[in-house]
């Protein structure tokens, strides 16, 4: 967490995050054009942001695209803002911003409650570092009971063979999704199609894709979740919950505790 605070302490790095918030998935050249600094300077700042997990990158041909990763910021929020204090903190923060900057109405906050998250070119990317083994992380992703502990009570069931289907639901409450296991390479890679089922609005969005990538880093793992093939102007409910899910997963594996989230509390009370 120290790396996150260090990264956010610099105004230039905060400016880079602001640029990615406005338009995610930018190249180094695009970001350089928006920051009054040399290309080398921008690269150094992006390196600090990547080390802190606030920016993640993906290759598209020869281009390297940079994405805002909201998970570390969400983890800071979850550590110090209780579920009871959150409405007050959000209200006071919104009031302060409104009084200081009337342009706030043109911005969309990253928020599970509002179902919003960074997305560009039909792709949303989320990254988190977890103190665990690849095998333990894979089990938490694929075991129905483990999955339900951090994913809003949602259980997932499958044979975990390539080409087979899976289903996910909050038992007795709501069907969440169904799809196909496209690639299954335990404990490193899982690619699935995703057909949302929890409302008529999300059903109309069609088939998207979710990729789980697990990379060992010393005694920890870097987990990257890519939700792509999203339609233009996709319903943000499709991908807006990922920061909360990944925060809950990290809390479970590192501390053995359950993290209260708006989603988990909602379904705990029967929807």
Name the average pLDDT for the chain.
85
| pLDDT at residue 267 is higher than 60 | yes
Residue 132 pLDDT greater than 60, yes or no: yes
Residues of the chain with CATH 3.30.530.20: 124-268
Other Cβ atoms less than 10 A from the Cβ of 5: the count is 11
* Average pLDDT score over residue span 191-195: 98
Q: Give the pLDDT band (50/70/90) at residue 84.
A: very low
pLDDT given for residue 107 in this prediction = 46
Confidence band for 257, pLDDT divided at 50, 70 and 90? very high
Using CA atoms, how far apart are residues 201 and 218, in angstroms rounded to an integer? 42
Q: What is the pLDDT of residue 165?
A: 97
Q: How confident is the model at residue 140 (pLDDT cuts 50, 70, 90)?
A: very high
Does the pLDDT value for residue 37 go beyond 60?
yes
Which residue in 140, 119, 116 sits closest to 130, CA to CA? 140
The answer to whether the beta carbons of residues 224 and 213 sit under 8 Å apart is yes
> Which class is 124-268 in CATH?
alpha beta
pLDDT at 77: 66
Q: Which CATH architecture has domain 2-68?
A: Orthogonal Bundle (1.10)
Residue ranges matching CATH 1.10.10.10 in the chain: 2-68
pLDDT band per the 50, 70, 90 thresholds, residue 103: very low
What confidence tier does 116 reach under pLDDT thresholds 50, 70, 90?
low
Q: Which of 8, 203, 234 is nearest to 119 (CA)?
A: 234
Nearest to 28 by CA among 53, 57, 54: 57
Rounded to two decimals, what is the model's pTM?
0.64
CA distance 222 to 214: 6
**Better-predicted residue by pLDDT, 19 or 115:** 19
What stretches of the chain show up as alpha helix (H) in DSSP? 2-8, 11-22, 28-34, 39-51, 71-80, 86-100, 134-142, 144-150, 200-203, 242-255, 262-268
Tokens of 236: 């943000």
pLDDT exceeds cutoff 60 at 90:
no
> What pLDDT, in 10s, does the model give residues 141-182?
999 999 999 999 999 999 999 999 999 999 998 999 999 999
């Amino acid at each position: 967490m120290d790396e996150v605070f260090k990264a956010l302490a610099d105004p230039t790095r905060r400016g880079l995050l602001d640029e990615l918030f406005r338009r995610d998935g930018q190249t180094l050249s695009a970001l350089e054009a928006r920051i009054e600094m040399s290309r080398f300077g921008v690269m150094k700042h992006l390196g600090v942001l990547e080390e802190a997990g606030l920016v993640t990158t993906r290759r598209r041909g020869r281009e390297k695209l940079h994405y805002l990763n909201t998970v570390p910021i969400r983890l800071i929020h979850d550590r110090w803002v209780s579920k009871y204090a959150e409405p007050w903190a959000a209200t006071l923060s919104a009031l302060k911003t409104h009084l200081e900057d009337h342009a706030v109405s043109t911005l969309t906050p990253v928020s599970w409650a509002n179902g919003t998250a960074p997305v560009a070119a039909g792709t949303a990317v989320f990254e988190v570092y977890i103190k665990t083994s690849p095998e333990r992380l894979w089990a938490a992703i694929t075991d129905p009971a483990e999955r339900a502990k951090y994913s809003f009570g949602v259980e997932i069931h499958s044979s975990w063979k390539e080409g087979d289907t899976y289903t996910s639901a909050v038992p007795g409450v709501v069907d969440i999704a169904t799809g196909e296991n496209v690639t299954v390479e335990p404990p490193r890679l899982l690619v699935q199609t995703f057909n949302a089922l929890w409302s008529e609005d999300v059903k109309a969005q069609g088939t998207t894709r979710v990729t789980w990538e697990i990379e060992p880093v010393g005694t920890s793992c870097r987990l990257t979740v890519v939700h792509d093939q999203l339609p233009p102007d996709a319903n943000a409910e499709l991908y807006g919950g990922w920061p909360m899910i990944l925060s809950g997963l990290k809390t479970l594996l590192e501390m053995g505790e359950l993290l209260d989230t708006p989603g988990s509390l909602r379904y705990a009370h029967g929807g």
